Structures are given as structure tokens and as C-alpha cells.
Amino acid sequence: MATIVDRQNPFKTSLSTKFLWLGLFVYLAYAFTTLDIGWDRFVLGLDQGGRLLDRLFPPNFTRWELLLHDLIESLQIAIIASVAGIFISLFVGLMAARNMMPNVISIPVRVFIALCRTFHPVIIAILFVKAVGFGALAGILTLTVASIGFVAKLFAEAIEEISFKQVEAIRATGAGFISTIVFGVIPQVFSRFIGFSIYQLDSNLRNSTMVGIVGAGGLGGTLFSAFQRFDYDFVTAILLAIIALILVGEALSNLVRRIFQ
Amino acid sequence: MSRLEIRELNHAYVSNKPILKNINIEIDEPGVIAIIGPSGTGKSTLLRCINRLIQPTDGSILFKDKDVAKIKGKSLREVRRQIGMVFQEYNLVERLSVLENVLTGRLGYMSAWSAWRRNFSDKDIKRAFELLAFVGLSDFAMQRADSLSGGQRQRVGIARALMQEPVILLADEPTSSLDPKTSVEIMELLRQLAQDKGIPTLVNIHDVNLAKRYAQRMIGMSGGQVVYDGKPDGITDTHLKSIYGGESWLQ
């Protein structure tokens, strides 16, 4: 004979979950009302947007020399910063990996990486423009720092996930520290490193068109002044140039990926 | 003086919980020396103390006039490169080719700069191919290590250890991840090396019968101590009972 057990429904929504949802809705309603973004404001905006669209076309390429110059500068900023950032990240990432380094090294290096990640590239770019002056150098430094913040962290995590058995075997052959890294660690993380590096190159290409807004070289500066002078047809030309740049970057990434595989 | 002398070796991962208790072993003769004992009794720890993958708590390990337990840096690496090691899970670098894995056995003899450039000497490369032929894997030299079967990987592991031109060989459960037939083949290979090339080979092994078949000397360990050290035919059921505990498994 089966005994009847009085069990609670195991899938009942908990009280705290209900409160969480309620809290979220209340906050959204509050935020909307205080920011004054109602339907009327939206319709008003649409009207303005229509006029902008009208003035964006057709794109104006009469200043193509300036455009090309800036485009090349952006590309250079992105590539130099990627190479420098990735190269530095190789060492920084290794030093941050807790399975390879004692805490006295890995903790300070982790703090350094965290600092590189703390600020948005725009803020770092402002700092570098103030520090080294207007132009491409500030952009390169900015994106190098941003690259270290991202790539070194991922490198460190990739190194922490390796199989230590392979490292142990290399160490048992009497190999020194660097040889152990070269044969025991790098083969295990190499393809992931390539993936992260390509991703960072891609991201730097996009960001290199942005740092110019605060004066750190590249297309961004020209874009910003075109906006301010209401040269909307030139803005369209710049935006098309940026799209072309990103497509070139895509082709470049594919090429690098194919070479390393 | 013997090739390897372990004297009063103790090790504890956690203080007051010793895993090795006062181990004394002397090894000089070529041939397979099997270490048997239940899991967790410190067999692996013992082998890893010999090439200092683990730093023993105290005691000494004398190898060529040096106390392995006390040296470090360059002189430790010089000792390690003379001690080959074969692992239970092969521990090959999966993404490198079979040939590169064998050649890693030379890393202890090369500078980091040469290692980085893969600048192996012609002599080493020739020897690597010879060893691959010896273990029957000539056709696999350029394949990635992770494309091989377990038995093939273990052969690469053995070739890598031989590449070091070892004075002694340590094998930590070399057959535990293999099927019975492959296990026998690997033990066959290790015995051949141990006798023909005259390398004393310390083998940790679970399988008592396999050990008896290939070893010329057996060391029984239980509870972190050596409880038997002698000829394989000297091991009786009474010894086995004291090593593994219980007796139902003997029938």
C-alpha cells in the first residue's frame, strides 16, 4: 500500500523572486516618468530624424584626400596598437596566471590588468591626449592599454585552464622554465591566443575610429567636426569609409586565421 | 655506490598525515623493479620524489653523488634529464606532433633559445626517428599526438623518456589506462629496455600478476611503508594480504 506523502510543490516561485520582478517594474516605471520620455517626445524626435536622413544623402566625397589620410591613420593606429598590446599581453598574461606564478607576482599583475580594464577607452584617450598631446600617438597608447586589459586577462585565463600533466611531463625531462613554457604551455593555448588576438584587432579597428573624437588621431576627429559643422553629407562619406575599414579588417582577420591553421 | 639510494625518506602533503614513512630503497641492477600496493599508499608520491616533481618533507635521495632532495635550479635539472619518466595518462603535449613530443626529451640538454627556435641537432632528430622505429611508430612521426590510441601514446611516452638517455627510468602506472593486451605489450617493451639497455626501471603497478611476470624484484608498499622487498617468487599470499588487506580478492 502506498503511503500518501504531503509534499510541497518543488517548483513554486519563491517570494524573493516575485519581489525582484515587482521591484524591477516599479523602477522602470519610475525611470520613465522622471526622464520625461513619453510618446509625444518620440514623435517629435522622429520628425527631426527624418530631416537628418534627408540631409545625409547623397554622400559627399569631394574631400576624399582628407578622408583617405584619416582612414589610413586609423588603420595604422589599430594595427600598431594591436601588435604592441598583444605582445605585451603575452608576458603580462603569463605573469598573471595563478598556476604558473607565485602570488607575489600574479596578484600585482592582476591588479595592473584590472586597472587597464577599469576605464573606457574614451577616458584613457582623454588622459593620453593631455599627457602626450593631440594625434596618433595618444590613440596608439590608448588602444594598447585597452588591448592589454582585454587580451592579457583572457591569456591568463587560457593559461590557467591548461592540463598541468603535460607541463609536468616537460618539466620531468629536465627542461628549464622557458623551455617548459615553450613546449608545455604555448602549444596548449596557441590557437586560443590567435582567436583572442584577432578579436582584439577587430575591436581596435572600430575603436580607432572613435579615439579621434577626443583628439587622439584617426577618422573620429574629422567625423566629429563634420557633425559640428552640419556637413551631414560628408558625415555619410566618413561613415561609409568606416564600414569599408571594418570590412578590410574582417578580410585581414580571415587571412591571419587561415595562415595560422 | 648504487645508482639510486633512497634513505629514510618521509613525505607529508599535510603535516601530521604522512604519506611516505621512512622509505629505504637501494637500486643498482638493471631490469624491472615493480612497486605494488593499494591506491593511495604513496607509490606515485615516491616516484615523484625521486625526480623532485614533489619536494619530500625529509630524508635523502642519492643519485650520482648528489642528494636530489636538496639540490635546485640547474643541478636539479641536470639530474632530472637523466631520469626518464613514463606516466599513467601518457602526458604527451597533445597539440604537438609525435616527433616533437619525442624530441622534448632533449629539452634538458638545450638552451631556451634553441628550444624556442626548435633548433634540435641533426643527431637528436636522427635518434628520435630511430626511437620511433624502435617503438613501432615510424609512420606516425608527423601526426599530432592526440590522434593516437592509448597504447600508441604510451609508446611515444616511452620514446620521449629514452630520448633523455636516462640512467634510470620511472614508470608511474604505465598500464593502468590500457587494455590487458596493450598492457602486456607495454610491459614487454619496458622489460626489453630495462634488460637490453641496462636501465633500472621502477614501475608502479596495480596488477600483481603482471608485476610478477615482468619484474625481477618487487617492492610491496602499504600504508606508506615498504613491507616487502625481494624476488617476485618470494611474495606469498600472506604478503599480499598484508599489502592490500582482506583476502577475498585473492581467490
> Do B94 and A184 make contact, defined as CB atoms within 8 angstroms?
no
> Do B112 and A176 make contact, defined as CB atoms within 8 angstroms?
yes
Q: How far apart are CA A161 and CA A89, in angstroms?
A: 17
Question: Which among A165, A166, A171, A192 is the top mutation candidate for probing chain B, defined by the most B β-carbons within 10 Å of its own β-carbon?
Answer: A166
Contact partners, residue B104, CB within 8 Å, separation at least 6 = A169, A170, A173, A175, A183, B93, B96, B160, B163
Q: Residues B21-47: what's their mean pLDDT?
A: 90
User: pLDDT digit string (tens) for A33-58?
Assistant: 888 777 788 888 888 888 888 888 88
pLDDT attached to residue A40: 80
CATH superfamily ID and name for A77-260: MetI-like (1.10.3720.10)
pLDDT attached to residue B39: 85
> Do B107 and A183 make contact, defined as CB atoms within 8 angstroms?
yes
Q: What is the DSSP letter of B144?
A: B
pLDDT attached to residue B62: 92
pLDDT attached to residue A2: 62
> What element of type H or E holds B222?
strand B217-222
> Do B96 and A173 make contact, defined as CB atoms within 8 angstroms?
no
- ipTM for the predicted complex comes to 0.90
Q: How far apart are CA B228 and CA B234, in angstroms?
A: 9
Looking at chain A, the whole-number percentage of residues with pLDDT higher than 70 is 99
Q: Residues B124-146: what's their mean pLDDT?
A: 93
With CA atoms as reference, the chain A residue closest to B100 would be A183
Q: Is the pLDDT of residue B152 over 60?
A: yes
Strand order in the sheet with B4-11: B20-27, B4-11, B58-63, B66-67
User: pLDDT digit string (tens) for A197-247?
Assistant: 999 998 999 898 888 888 888 888 888 988 888 888 888 988 998 898 889
Bridge pairing between strands B225-230 and B217-222: antiparallel
> Do A171 and B80 make contact, defined as CB atoms within 8 angstroms?
yes
- Band the pLDDT of B251: cuts 50, 70, 90: low
Q: Which of A136, A172, A29, A251 is nearest to B48 (CA)?
A: A172
Least confident of A1-10, A148-157, B34-43: A1-10
Contact present, B120 and B103 (Cβ < 8 Å): yes
Residues of chain B contacting A163 with CB distance shorter than 8 Å: 94
> What element of type H or E holds A191?
helix A186-208
Contact present, B103 and B125 (Cβ < 8 Å): yes
Q: What is the mean pLDDT of chain B?
A: 90
Contact present, A204 and A82 (Cβ < 8 Å): yes
Contact present, B50 and B170 (Cβ < 8 Å): yes
Q: Is the pLDDT of residue B21 over 60?
A: yes
Contact partners, residue B138, CB within 8 Å, separation at least 6 = B129, B132
Least confident of A60-74, A165-179, B51-65: A60-74
Q: How far apart are CA A62 and CA A60, in angstroms?
A: 6
Q: How far apart are CA A234 and CA A57, in angstroms?
A: 9
> Do B116 and A182 make contact, defined as CB atoms within 8 angstroms?
yes
Q: How many residues does this entry show for chain B?
A: 251
Q: How far is B50 from chain A (nearest CA, A)?
A: 11
Q: What SS3 state is found at B83? A: strand
> Do A165 and B89 make contact, defined as CB atoms within 8 angstroms?
yes
Q: What is the DSSP letter of A4?
A: P
Our CA angle for A47, A50, A53, nearest 5°, is: 155
Q: Which residue has the cell 634488460?
A: B195
| Domain segments of chain B as ranges | 92-165
* Closest residue to A183, CB basis, from B51, B78, B115: B115
- Band the pLDDT of B197: cuts 50, 70, 90: confident
With CA atoms as reference, the chain B residue closest to A173 would be B81
Least confident of A53-62, A146-155, B59-68, B157-166: A53-62
Q: What is the mean pLDDT of chain A?
A: 89
With CA atoms as reference, the chain A residue closest to B110 would be A175
| Domain segments of chain A as ranges | 77-260
Q: Is the pLDDT of residue B246 over 80?
A: no
C-alpha distances (whole Å) from A55 to each of A63, A115, A226, A241 are 17, 42, 13, 18
Bridge pairing between strands B200-204 and B31-36: parallel
> What element of type H or E holds A213?
none
Residues of chain B contacting A187 with CB distance shorter than 8 Å: 93-96
